[in-house]
Amino acid sequence: MRIRVPPKDSREIHGSGGPAARPAQEKVLQLRNAPARAASAIASGVLLALAMPKFSWWPLAWLAPALLLHSVRDLPWRPAAVLGWVAGFSFYLPALYWLAPTVVSYTRIGWAAACGLVVLLCAVEACYIATIAAAVAWIGGGAWRRVFVAPAAWVVVEWLRTFFPAPFPWIPLATSQVAGPLVLVQVADLAGCYGVSWAIVLVGAALAEALAVRREAVAGEPVAGAPPGSSSLKRGGGLVALAAAVIAAVVGYGHWRLSELEAAQEDSHGLTAAIVQGNIPQRLKWQMDRQDEILSRYLELSRQAAASGARLIVWPEAAVPFFLEYDKRRSRLVELATTTGAALVVGAPGYRDTPAGPRQYNEAWLILPGRGLAGYYDKIQLVPFGEYVPWGPLLAWVDKAVEAVGDFGRGSAAVVFEVPDDAHDGNVRLGVLICYEAIFPSFVRRFVLGGARLLVNISNDAWYGRSAAPYQHLAMAALRAVENRVPLVRATNTGISAFVDATGRIHERTPLFEEAVRIRTVAPGRAASLYVRFGNWLVWASLLLLAMAAAAKLRRRE
């Protein structure tokens, strides 16, 4: 038997292209591909911005994660984080452009500073996408592992945005699909908007990996993470099949739920509700000499709604321009309810003494025929830098620089109102979401757990003009109806007001900056959805998957 003794220096066999040189070659290749990777990351962010309202080119949202994951594939986590940040910044800057004119219009800040603040905000928000890219790159592993790590990381990061570092979960990925076919958002009743995001990212990740696997197979290169002897083309086909299966499952479930819910709605009794959109210019809204004029406009529009059969009339956030509880003009609203027999839900400022001193509140009031002021709800989820300054003394200077920043008190309970429904011998329980509160999935779920079978969202989006913000806000509110399988009535000062049924279909939407009254019979929700019963189970499952993948990564390093 002949025994071949290996040479002492591996370079005698491998030369300069051996294993020792491979990392250096890969690094050179990564640097050469840097412009293409950066272009892919930028395209990912821009496509995602175009998928969001008001452009609403929703199919682009299914491509954006694929481009992002393609750009960071096989990179170390640090450069992957940089490219993720580039993608995030390319998304948030065009999607949140409307903040700059809003800041200029309602603060003492000029255009240069306002644009700088928006750029800073977008830079911070981009760190979330950077975190996703870094997690996928650091955990690494084979194609199949990356395919499941990517949506898990995305879901966890979207959930983090609801509270860290300040609550601002604006336009999560699922928002893009509200303008698309209704079947695509029905999975939100299983896992909230996170379920929609999970499906989109998983499909994108599978397609990105399949493309890379096929390209490497054609080039004759070994596929990262592939078992010895495995067929690259076969593995690529499996990834495409996975993407197709997820899309088929989402569409199939959507069709089934739509047919089931639409049949149930036909058999349901409903409450006739009215939206009153007063279209009060923001510059006039708080002028003392306009208070009676504003109140009279809302009262007249409400009488028209009651004459058309409305039993519930909804006014927007802060439609009443004075402290309703203490002002004797409240008798005019009580009289309206008594003479028309309709219940009123109205937005108004509130004021009361607290142990910390006098505080102002953003409130919703229920006014019932024969009972007058029957209850109120204090807004809980306040707008950062609009109704309070987060992080206390650290940013106290903001309160001095920005006129529009209030110091509002925070409510403590998710109050559920009961509205008589004489036509059907019972009461309808409803939860009122004030403005910004409608963008928080877990928060809205609290009202439904408390018994609400109808959601009312009152808002004032006049601040944002004719920008994309009112369209984005409506789309996010519509997702809450699907998640909880509870219809939503949305009344805003200047639009967009609308009714959203339990399938997410938007009805009777109003134009921006026009006075309007809309009336529709809404059927209260029935059975609680899976999301209502089990909450953010997908978030916890994603956290567990990431923890297991990270543990496996650490074991491999040992």
Active-site positions read 317, 379, 435
Q: What is the 3-state secondary structure (H, E, C) of 477-525?
A: HHHHHHHHCCCEEEEECCCCCEEECCCCCEECCCCCCCCEEEEEEECCC
Tokens of 455: 């959601």
* CA–CA dist 189, 537 (Å, integer): 12
- Checking DSSP bridges between strand 357-368 and strand 343-354, what pairing results, if any? antiparallel
Tokens of 417: 């109102």
Q: Residue for token digits 């339990």?
A: 502
* CA–CA dist 343, 275 (Å, integer): 12
* CA–CA dist 132, 200 (Å, integer): 14
Backbone angles phi and psi of 257, in degrees to 5: -70, -40
* CA–CA dist 194, 187 (Å, integer): 9
Q: Residue for token digits 């009743």?
A: 189
Q: Residue for token digits 């200077």?
A: 397
455: part of which helix (H) or strand (E)? strand 454-459
The CA–CA distances, whole Å, from 165 to 60, 100, 127, 384 equal 29, 21, 11, 11
